[in-house]
Amino acid sequence: MDKYIIYHNSRWGKSRSALQLLRDSNIEPQIIDYIKNPPSIVELKRISRLLGLDPSEWIRKTEKDYKNNNLKDIKDSEKIFSLMSKYPKLIERPIVTFGKNGIVARPIEKLIDFLRSLFL
């Protein structure tokens, strides 16, 4: 059976808001603290497929690790996945997945639309 998963950072309001929206929708997701338990490269590739996005489209470009590793000059997805796994703060948050679908849930309206599309 498919389950909702949220890649969550409790330190950030948008992540807490997404988790609360899921709970308010009677959904208790599996919570993955991706900072404490960074996803493997294999898992990041799976997430990328679910999102339908290249990793360069869901990486946090304002993070210090992005600038320190000159990521704006890196086009190789494998290298980006490797750095996202090594420096999990680079992962855009929050990410919610369900089955074969996923969304970067910011702004929160994207999560609302995602949930509606699953219930239709």
Phi/psi of residue 10, each to 5°? -65, -10
pLDDT in tens, the chain (120 residues): 689 999 999 999 999 999 999 999 999 999 999 999 999 999 999 999 999 999 999 999 999 999 998 888 898 999 999 999 999 999 999 999 999 999 999 999 999 999 999 876
Output the pLDDT for position 120.
Answer: 63
- What local confidence, expressed as pLDDT, does residue 1 receive? 63
18, 41 Cβ separation under 8 angstroms: no
What tokens appear for 85 in the block? 């796994």
**Res 2: pLDDT:** 84
Phi, psi of 63 (to 5 degrees): -75, 145
